[in-house]
Structure 1
Amino acid sequence: MKQLKLTGFVIFLFFLPESLTLPTKPQDVDNFGTTQKFIEQNLGYITIITFAQYIQEASFEEVEMLAKSMTEYKDECLANMTLPMCSKFPNDVFMEKICAMEGLPQKHNFSHCCSKTDFERRLCFFRNKKADVGFLPPLPTLDPEVKCEAYKNNSGSFLSNYIYEVSRRNPFVFAPTLLTVTGRFEEMTKMCCEAKDKANCFRAKAFHVVQYLKALSSYQKNVCGALWKFGPQVLKSIYIAILSQKFPKIEFKELTSLLEEVSSKYDVCCEGDAVQCIRGRSQVMSHICSKQDFISNKIKQCCEKTIPERGECIIYSNKDDRPKDLSLREAKFTESENVCEERNADQDIFMAEFLYEYSRRHPELSTPELLRIARVYDDLLKECCSTENPPHCYRDAESKFSETTDKSLKIVQQECEYLQNLGMDDLKYHYFIKLTKTAPQLSTDEVIFLGEEMVTALTTCCTLSEEFACVDNLVDLVLGEICGVNENRTINPAVDHCCKASFAFRRLCFATLEADKTYVPPSASQSLFNFHIDLCQAHHEELQRKKDRFLVNLVKLKPELTDEELRSSFTGFSNVVDKCCKVEAPEACFSEEGPKLAAKSQAS
């Protein structure tokens, strides 16, 4: 496998006038140069990320073809920069070259996107991305010695192939995050290839890299889903809550300025415009670092880091302490006589300031809960401001906020009680059954992934002092996975309603969902109960996955069974495996026991 040869293309990239926001301040010039240098150094990886995320089925050899096409384009523009095609955005150039690759659009079924232009084409490529990557082969696993030898012989090619495989399986992850993951993978490879026990080193280090990628992927998909389904106003509300909690001493005016940068840059990241995403995030982080005295005193070390570690460090930095002079309540929103007048003067600014003031005073609440409270307050004012005595009406706003939080808190407490009473394994099976009955249209692998994520959220959070915020935030990310990024995602009427009706209240909506009444199960299939010797040959993790798949597929086949009946059949399956794998003729045992279990399940 050849390493990408993209040296020189970087020269051309920065002559694209429309792609640049020209710096005006000294610190902006410095940041611009630093960001430009980082993109130059990583352009090969950026090309791979862009191509692999847009066309997930494409081979690595096809990525190399794109690199060649881009090099030819660069040569043309360097020879004559006045050509109209040389003034386009980098992402549009990528798309045009992808579409121009002979036979590729037809082969991978994206010709319909190539027939569009500008925003419509970018949106089409975005919608073409598939979150469920079951159509891709399993991620290649190499023996540690082979892996280390490959890295030693050609580290560039080795890492290029890695970022290609990771990008096509994570089509909605932002380019800066994937570049950070690749950097961590390289550090891990260097370290583990020097270790005596390479296998254990890779296993331990890889776990942390994978968890980091999963966490950022889930968050980014969730926020992009909010942007595409509900529009930029919801995105702004999310970041008002996040930034106000994280930096409680920030002034509202400064927050508004920062928010404009965040909002204007986020859509390019969601679209998959890698170059603009890197530039945009760098600008936002430079803004934060240039205003440390007014924003936070806990990010100094982060601001000394390089791209993209600086951004990741700031994102993961601890919340600042609440200013000592900040009262627990902001009276102007519940006790002032002029609330309705101020709201009517500029509703967006008024509600933004309310969310800012409430968020910075309540670090113990989750982002979704803060959005719920803002929605409750907005609905209350719509009602109160049409009455004869508005102040009397909105005087009890705080009690309504408490009611909303109490409802959310009870859901979290119930979920943590499930963990305490059931334990991790039974809790996982509980969610497999619940999720499959609620959304049987999801693939088996999706249900297993979501169920495991629910368990991870609860085991991570239910023993923490900030239990409520932690659980509510992480479970909301799982719901984001169910709802998907694309606005045209559809599962069934009830789930679709929860996903599309309200971003803030979808958690409470999902909590009330029951089994999907529109679902028609497949005709009874005996293949589910046709067991073979491969069950005896599977390693522990592989066998557990087969058992998980059996349970989910059983629920899809027999959704009318009660949870107890499903658990009984699942236990019966485990017992059959244990019994038959101990005898001399497992196949004969399975042939006898499988139909018995099928008959028992049918009779339930």
Structure 2
Amino acid sequence: MKQLKFTDFVFFLFFFTESLTLPTKPQDVDDSGITQKFIEENIEYITIIAFAQYVQEATFEDVEILVKDMVEYKDRCVANKTLPECFKLPNNALQEKIFAMEGLPQKHNLSHCCSKVDFERRSCFFFNKKADVAFLPPFPTLDPEEKCQAFKNSRKSFLNRYVYEVARRNPFVFAPTLLSVAARFEEVAGACCEEQHKATCFQTRAAPVIQYLKAFSSYQKNVCGAYLKFGTKVLNFINIAVLSQKFPKIEFKELTSLIEDVSSKYDGCCEGDVVQCVRDTSKVMNHICSKQGSISSKIQECCEKKIPERGECIINSNKDDRPEDLREAKFTDSETLCQERDTDPDNFFAEFTYEYSRNHPDLSTPELLRIAHVYKDVLSNCCNTQNPPGCYRRAKDKFNETTEKSHKIVQRECEHFQLWGKDGVKYYYLIRLTKTAPQLSTEELISLGEKMAMALATCCTLSEEFACVDNLVDLVLGELCGINENRTINPAVDHCCKTNFAFRRHCFEGLKADETYVPPTTTKDLFTFNADLCQAQNEELQRKKDRVLVDLARRRELAEEELRAWLAGLAERCCSAGEPALWGGSQNWQLKPDCLRNIKEKASKLSGPDRRETPESLNVDRKKRGNCSGFGVHSPQ
């Protein structure tokens, strides 16, 4: 997949949700018959995605039963559209067939949804989805040769199972995105199964597909969370900021028309209505290309392409040139701003966001929303004074103060990354997140910490450092807050997640450890390391260290610096070089027996009756401990 500019990152996530197998002629995109044909031809994938996302615990055998039923249903309705059952909305028909599966609603706690209808039923299915998928078994892995044999034996069966496994672990990803992932993975499997070094090929070529899925999952959950918690108004402002930066020449009237199509698609996509999501996404792309003359001068060649290539081409196109008639000044210099605001407040602030966004391509989407919020407060105050124009002419100072504060947050984060590196900064955020939200599962905290580290590793060397970091970190906070408006973590975190979407990043910066949390009892098993401790590249070892760090951070016995230092230097203190390795000339690393014993002694202290030791008492004497210095303090390098 072509490498995207990070200045286009949010736009990339926002728009590229078209299936690779949608209709191929640009003029046919708005033909409902073409879209309907696509749905009928892809009924198996659509059924698998919807079922696996709604009932993540369902087995693949359950899915196969429902797929067969839905295919038969489709065939009956294609043959005779006048049958009463064929007048149902596709999503309703699918949900009813799930209820009809013997024993399944009872087994998977869906019985209470069966008696509901319309919006209440859709909400019931939605709230059954679980973002934390730690309850599922690990993603099944096959030897490359076995994988290729299964692929060659039955490409259809192989891909169906792949879609099932991906969909149940990504319950909030839009169906068109999952269809694109499946198409990309099919290309990867087809190419790699012809290669001699299959494992290397899969590793290299599957990585962009995985990143594509992760990026979309993060963005779609973030935007749907904003939509479900704060409503259409916040969703519209997100879309205005994104589109105004990408298409700065678009007229405000045309933008508002496009926003209607873009925002309306989130009803179906966020609820998990697979069919409606596909239809609405196609409608958005058609709108852009049908009005390209008034939207962008950079997409003409893109709109002449077939749809699979067209969507990606538009996303990779450069931002349009900024026009000369930018009218940002009118929102601070006009004498009649208070009257204009009062005539139509929503439209007035939407136009301000449009003008400010297209005039500031260097700012992140969250920062543009913060500025819009600040401007609303400025006018609210100024329009109640004796001299409103004299008051709101100083609004730019408020804008600059807000942006400067956001810049300082990003600068501090990138300084941490430069000082500690990717691993060190991951430990830092693992500890901070755990102390702030200890109620989250260990796996979820590890995932969030890794994503924070990845955001900084990706962005902190770029010229667009601020916008890149602020956009990506906001996505991580969106995952923490969750898509479900009823999600509760603790009062402080809930306040940041639910009070103000634009300023939640600033809110999280001020959070301290949750002192009301009662940590679980420490067990000695927590510190059980085997000889594989010294295999520094072992991924499972890294996972073990991450889990230990989270569990220690929950207990609050140690300061952040001590926790980071202990994990960063664990292998260094506990491993010694043995005989030269037989392969490659490097060293065999051996575990120091005394180190494991000292770790277990530390576990005994933490799991004993007096667990709340001071950091000083945990800082053992290096001479007594040898090279295994317990929880000694040093900066992770």
1:307: Cα distance to partner? 4.3
Counterpart of 1:509, as a letter, is: C
What's the counterpart of residue 428 of structure 2? Answer: 430
Which is further off, 227-236 or 105-114? 105-114
Match of 1:592 among 597, 600, 603: 597
- 1:300 positional shift: 3.2
Contact 1:282–1:307 (8 Å) recurs in 2: no
Question: How many Å separate the matches in 2 of 1:517 and 1:384?
Answer: 40
Aligned-pair CA distance for 1:354: 0.6
Match among 437, 444, 447 for residue 446 of structure 1: 444
Question: CA offset at residue 306 of structure 1?
Answer: 4.0
Deviations 1:293-337 (A, max 9, x none): 1111222343344445543543454322212x134x622211111
Tell me if the contact between 1:77 and 1:86 (Cα under 8 Å) persists in the aligned partners: yes
Q: Any conservation in 2 of the 1:528–1:554 contact (CA below 8 Å)?
A: no
Task: Please give the alpha-carbon distance, in whole angstroms, between the structure 1 residues aligned to 2:387 and 2:522.
Answer: 63
* Code of the aligned partner of 1:460: T
Distance 1:30 1:567, change over 3 A: closer
Between 1:297-306 and 1:419-428, the stretch displaced more is: 297-306
Q: Is the 8 A contact 1:437 1:555 kept in 2?
A: yes
**What does residue 563 of structure 1 align with?**
560
**Are the equivalent residues in 2 in contact too, given 1:530–1:590 (CA < 8 A)?**
no
Match of 1:496 among 494, 497, 506: 494
Q: Which residue in the other structure is 1:455 paired with?
A: 453
The residue correspondences of 1:244-263 to structure 2 (distance < 5 A) are 244-263=244-263
Stretches of structure 1 that go unaligned for 5 or more consecutive residues are: 1-25
Deviations 1:521-544 (A, max 9, x none): 112322212334565689611211
Aligned residue type for 2:158: F
In the TM superposition, what is the alpha-carbon distance from 1:37 to its structure 2 partner? 3.5
> What is the letter of the counterpart of residue 261 of structure 1?
D
1:93 aligns with 2:98: no
Deviations 1:543-591 (A, max 9, x none): 11111111111112x2141123323543574357536999999797677
Partner of 2:53: 53
Alpha-carbon distance in 2 for matches of 1:251, 1:538: 56
Give the distance between the partners of 2:533 and 2:391, measured in 1 at CA.
65
Q: Distance in 1 between matches of 2:62 and 2:595?
A: 46
**Structure 1 residues 81 and 398, CA gap change in structure 2 (3 angstroms):** same
Deviation of 1:221 after TM superposition, in Å, equals: 0.4
Q: Give the SS at the match of 1:334.
A: helix
Inter-CA distance 396–229: structure 2 relative to 1 (3 Å threshold): same
The aligned amino acid for 2:561 is E
Return 282-291 or 590-599, whichever deviates more. Answer: 590-599
Q: 1:578 to 1:584 in 2, by over 3 A?
A: closer
Q: CA, structure 1 residues 486+581, in 2 after alignment: closer, same or farther (shift >3 Å)?
A: farther
TM-score by length of 1: 0.90
Structure 2 counterpart of 1:413, from 401, 405, 411: 411
TM-score (norm 2): 0.86
Tell me what 1:196 maps to: 196
Residue 395 (structure 1) aligned to one of 393, 396, 402: 393
Structure-to-structure mapping, 1:486-565, within 5 angstroms: 486-533=484-531, 535=533, 540-556=538-554, 558-565=555-562
Change (3 A) 1:427 1:377: same
* Residue 379 (structure 1) shift: 1.2
Alignment of 1:184 with 2:189, yes or no, is no
Find 1:359's aligned residue among 333, 357, 360. 357
Amino acid of the residue matched to residue 595 of structure 1? K
Distance 2:186 2:589 in 1: 47
Question: For 2:594 and 2:305, how far apart are their aligned partners in 1?
Answer: 62
Show the counterpart of 1:108: 108
Query: Aligned-pair distance for 1:254?
Result: 0.5
Q: Distance in 2 between matches of 1:144 and 1:394?
A: 65
Q: In the aligned structure 2, how far is the partner of 1:467 from the partner of 1:592?
A: 45
Structure 2: distance between partners of 1:101 and 1:305: 43
What is the CA–CA distance in structure 1 between the aligned matches of 2:511 and 2:338, rounded to whole Å? 36
Amino acid at match of 1:594: I
Deviation at 1:48, TM superposition (A): 0.7
1:289 maps onto 2:294 in alignment: no
Tell me if structure 2 keeps the 8 A contact 1:181–1:209. yes
Residue 273 in 1 paired to residue 270 in 2?
A: no
> Which has the higher mean CA deviation after the structures are superposed, 142-151 or 589-598?
589-598
Q: Which amino acid aligns with 1:357?
A: E
1:471 maps to what in 2? 469
After TM superposition, give the deviation of residue 264 of structure 1 in Å: 1.4
Name the amino acid aligned to 2:325: L
Conservation of the 8 A alpha-carbon contact between 2:426 and 2:450? yes
Provide the C-alpha distance between the structure 1 equivalents of 2:441 and 2:548, rounded to a whole number of angstroms: 13
Cα distance in 1 between the residues matched to 2:573 and 2:100? 56
- What displacement does 1:224 show? 0.2
User: 2:29 aligned with 1:44, yes or no?
Assistant: no
| Distance (Å, rounded) in 2 between the aligned partners of 1:267 and 1:311 | 21
C-alpha offsets along residues 447-470 of structure 1, whole Å, 9 cap, x if unaligned?
111111111111111111111111
In the alignment, the residues of structure 2 paired with residue 584 and residue 500 of structure 1 have an alpha-carbon distance, to the nearest angstrom, of 49
Distance in 2, Cα, partners of 1:191 & 1:348: 51
Identity of aligned residues (%): 67
Distance in 2 (CA, whole Å) between partners of 1:568 and 1:372 is: 36
Separation of aligned partners in 1, 2:69 and 2:172:
25
Point out the structure with the larger helix share. Answer: 1
Q: Are the aligned partners of 2:424 and 2:568 in contact in 1 as well (CA < 8 Å)?
A: no
The letter of the residue matching 1:337 is: E
1:331-375 alpha-carbon deviations (Å, 9 max, x no partner): 221111110111111111111111011111110000000000000
Greater CA drift, 26-35 or 116-125: 26-35
SS in 2 for 1:458: helix
Counterparts of 1:118-157 in structure 2, within 5 Å, are: 118-157=118-157
- Distance (Å, rounded) in 1 between the aligned partners of 2:56 and 2:127: 12
Which residue is equivalent to 1:326?
Answer: 325
Offset at residue 255 of structure 1 (A)? 0.4
Paired residues, number = 576
Root-mean-square deviation (CA, aligned residues, Å) is 2.4
Post-superposition offset of 1:35: 2.8
Q: Indicate how the Cα distance of structure 1 residues 533 and 463 shifts in structure 2: closer, same or farther if over 3 A, else same.
A: closer
Q: State how far apart, in whole Å, the 2-side matches of 1:599 and 1:317 are.
A: 60
Equivalent residues in 2 for 1:280-319, closer than 5 Å: 280-307=280-307, 310-319=310-319
Partner of 1:213: 213
Deviates most, 577-586 or 531-540: 577-586
Alignment of 1:3-22 (within 5 A): none
Q: 2:522 touches 2:603 (CA, 8 Å); kept in 1? A: no
Identify if the C-alpha distance between structure 1 residues 272 and 417 changes in structure 2 by more than 3 Å, giving closer, same or farther: same
Partner of 1:385: 383
User: CA separation in 2, counterparts of 1:336 and 1:28?
Assistant: 46
- Shift in Å at residue 512 of structure 1? 0.8
Letter in 2 for 1:143: D
Amino acid at match of 1:464: L
Name the amino acid aligned to 2:564: R
Q: Deviations over 1:78-130 (max 9, x none)?
A: 67644543222111111111111111001111111222111111011111111
Cα pair 1:31 1:282 within 8 Å, conserved: no
Q: Which amino acid is 2:276 matched to?
A: Q
SS of the residue corresponding to residue 453 of structure 2 reads helix
- Worse overlay, 170-179 or 518-527: 518-527
**Cα offsets for 1:10-41 (capped at 9, x unmatched):** xxxxxxxxxxxxxxxx9467543443343333
- Residues 1:253 and 1:278: Cα distance change in structure 2 (over 3 Å): same
Post-superposition CA distance 1:389-417 (Å, at most 9, x none): 21112111111111110110110111111
Aligned partners of 1:238, 1:290: CA distance in 2, in Å?
23
Structure 2 CA distance for aligned equivalents of residues 537 and 112 of structure 1: 50
Q: Residues 241, 456 of structure 1: CA spacing in aligned structure 2 closer, same or farther, 3 A cutoff? A: same
Task: Tell me the alpha carbon deviations over residues 199-231 of structure 1, each in whole angstroms, 9 at most, x when there is no partner.
Answer: 101001111110011001100000000000000
Q: 2: CA distance between counterparts of 1:79 and 1:306?
A: 30
